[in-house]
Amino acid sequence: MTIANLNRQTIAALPGNSEALLWDTTLKGFGFLARRDASGAIRKSFLIQYRFNGQQRKLKLGDANKLNVDAARKKAAKLFGQILNGIDPQAAKDAERIEAAKLTFAGAVEQYLQMKAGELRPSSLTGQAYFPSLHRKPLDSITRGDVARHLDQIASESGSPSASRARAHLSSFYMWCLRRGHCRENTFCKRRNQRAARNGRGRCPPMSCGRFGTLAMIPTMAGLSGC
C-alpha cells in the first residue's frame, strides 16, 4: 500500500504491468487499484474505503481507463458526503442491482406473448409507443395509480368500451403473472373488493381475476380468452 497525491501525473508514472494500491493523501479513503486478473491482464480502477456501522467496506468507483482521476475524486467526495448523512453507498448499489434484476413490465409481456403465440395475433405490445413510462419498471412496482391513469387515458382517447375490454384482457395477463409468482398482490381484486364492500356485494373469489390496466393497449387483444 502506498500513500500519494492521486493525480494524472502520479497515475501515469506507475509501471504499466505491475500491481499497485495507492491511497490519496488529501481525500482520505480515496484510492487507485491496479490488479492482475485471472487472464494475467492488469485491471485499473478507482475505489473508496470507508466504515459504516462498524464495518469496513470498499466500493469500486469505475474503470480507470474510462474514468479519469479528477472525475473519480468528485464521485468519491460525493459518496463520502452520503456516508456522513447515514447512507451506505454499497447497500444502495446492491439495492439498485437487485431492482434491475427484477422482471420488468416489458419482460413479462414478452414472456406472456411467447406463451400465447398460438392465440394472439402479432402486435407491438412491447413497443415504446405504448406507455413508455412503464416498460422499464419492475412489474411488481406498478401501482394502482399507474393502472388508473392509463385506463383513464384509454377511456378518454378510445371510449369506455375500449377501456372495459382492456380491463378484461389485462386481467388475464396479470392472472398469468400471479400464477407464476411475478406479482405479489392482485390490485384488480383489491379495487373490486373495495367497491363490492361499499355496495354490499361479496368479494372476488381467490385467483378469479388479475391485476389489470397497465397493458391495455390495442384492439388486437379483443380475442384474448385468458389462461
Note the pLDDT tens digit of each residue in 77-136.
999 999 999 999 988 888 777 766 678 888 888 888 787 776 655 443 444 444 567 778
Model confidence at 182, pLDDT cuts 50, 70, 90, reads confident
Pairing of strands 2-4, 20-24: parallel
Nearest to 175 by CA among 164, 186, 190: 186
User: In Å, how far are 134, 142, 222 from 124, measured between CA atoms?
Assistant: 15, 20, 14
Check: pTM over 0.75? Answer yes or no: no
Model confidence at 44, pLDDT cuts 50, 70, 90, reads very high
Interhelix angle 144-158/160-179, rounded to 10 degrees, is 150
Instruction: For the chain, give every domain's residue range.
Output: 2-100, 102-221
Considering the four listed CATH numbers 3.10.20.30, 3.30.160.390, 3.40.190.80, 3.40.50.300, the one that applies to the domain covering 2-100 is 3.30.160.390
